[in-house]
Structure formats: structure tokens, C-alpha cells
Amino acid sequence: MTEHSDRVANASTNASVDPDTVEWPVSLAGVTESIVTTLGPNDRWNAAPLGLFAGDGDENDDPVTAKTWGNTRTRRNFHRQGEGYVQFTVDPVAFADAALSISEFDEPILESANAWVRVAVEQVDSGTEGETEWEEWTLRPLEANVVAETVPTIDRGFGAVIEATVAASRLGVPAYDQDALRERLEYYASVVDRAGSEREREALERVRDHAEW
């Protein structure tokens, strides 16, 4: 029952478009998880999770921001290219792959994207947390497209997959209590076991494989 509207909010081919008028295709509040694709030196698009921090609504004074953690492909490609494609997908396998493995594509837009936004990125801050260097970036939409809107649903299995990717990505990082992470992973696995869809089960298997958990 999805609706494929293929509605281009602001076409990049329209030279008269004022970038300030391009809007995010979702309403952002708190932190929203996305997948960003960035063009690498191998001419392929790398997909990785990116947490979007909502601004206060006035995008010029207080734009959406995101942090890169460590010397990742996303960080290097942001520096090299100054832009990327932020995608909104609810495919648990796409998310698990992007989070825990090198996930690269020939095209910037993921097949499972419900919407995407090409953003200009600018580094505005940096620091260190634990042993990890982070950089903070502003993200300004240049072009946005809604591919498919749906009735959003609450799926505990899906949430459990997302949390499992977070916990798995912290395995081996000394700042985190490893026993607590493993207990949480077992609990998320039990939620997927009880409430998950086939696709969520597949995603959890990817988490187990990638994280050797």
C-alpha cells in the first residue's frame, strides 16, 4: 500500500532554484538515523549510517548537523567531495550492512530509499571522545526527492535490529561494558525471534556475521 509519487521537491536541473528553499522530505526532531552515500576515490558510493541532529527549524541559523566518528570513509569523502546523499530507508538489511560492513554501490541512491536528499556538508567542529576523534558537520539540502510514502508502523523487531547494530559496533571498544553489550544483544535477538519479520531475521543474521557475535 505504498504510494510512489516520485515527486521531485526541487529539481537540480532547474538553475533558478534557491538552495535555501529546498526542504528536508521528513520532519526531523531529536536524532533521526539515516544512511548517507558518499563518493569514494574508487568512484563508488559508500553507504554508512549517519545520525541527523535536528536544528530548531530555521535552517539558515541552525541547520541540521551530524557527527562522523573516527577516520571513516564518510569523513574522508565528505572532506573530498563536500557533499553526499542522505537516504531514508526502513530496510533492516540495508541498515545492518551499512553499519557493520563496507557497503558500496555504483549509484548514489539506495534501492530501498523512501526519500533522499543531496546535501552540502561543511565541517564546523571536532573533538575527541574516549579514543575516537569526531568531526561535526552541517548538512544543507540541495535537492530532495520523495520516492514512496507509507503509513508508518511500530515494529519492535525492526527497532531491535537497529539497537543490535549499535551494540555490535561497540563490541571491542574498551569504553563500553562488553558484558552489558552482549546481554543487550541477546535480548534484541529474542525480540527479533518473537516479533521479527523475515527481513528482520535476515538482518540480525548479518549483525551476527559481521560482528562475529
Residues of the shown chain interacting with its own copies in the complex, contacts defined by CB under 8 A: 1-3, 5, 23-27, 29-34, 51, 54, 88, 90, 95, 114-115, 146, 148-159, 162-163, 166, 180, 183-184, 187, 194-200
Minimum distance, C-beta of residue 130 to its own copies, in the bound complex (Å): 15
Minimum distance, C-beta of residue 19 to its own copies, in the bound complex (Å): 17
Q: How many CB atoms lie within 10 A of CB 55?
A: 17
Minimum distance, C-beta of residue 80 to its own copies, in the bound complex (Å): 27
Q: How far is residue 120's CA from residue 87's CA, in Å, rounded to a whole number?
A: 14
131 burial class (0-12, 13-18, 19+ CB within 10 angstroms)?
exposed
Q: How far is residue 205's CA from residue 100's CA, in Å, rounded to a whole number?
A: 12
- Which of 44, 204 has the CB closer to its own copies? 204
Q: How many Å is the maximal CA-CA distance in the chain?
A: 56
- Which of 3, 205 has the CB closer to its own copies? 3
Angle at 28 between CA 104 and CA 210, to 5 degrees: 30
- Which of 27, 42 has the CB closer to its own copies? 27
Q: How far is residue 139's CA from residue 124's CA, in Å, rounded to a whole number?
A: 10
- Which of 121, 181 has the CB closer to its own copies? 181
Minimum distance, C-beta of residue 205 to its own copies, in the bound complex (Å): 15
- Which of 34, 46 has the CB closer to its own copies? 34
107 grid coordinates: 549509484
Minimum distance, C-beta of residue 55 to its own copies, in the bound complex (Å): 13
Which value, to the nearest 10 degrees, does the dihedral of the CA atoms of residues 39, 43, 44, 48 take? Answer: -30
Q: How far is residue 185's CA from residue 81's CA, in Å, rounded to a whole number?
A: 36
Q: How many CB atoms lie within 10 A of CB 69?
A: 15
Minimum distance, C-beta of residue 79 to its own copies, in the bound complex (Å): 26
- Which of 86, 121 has the CB closer to its own copies? 86
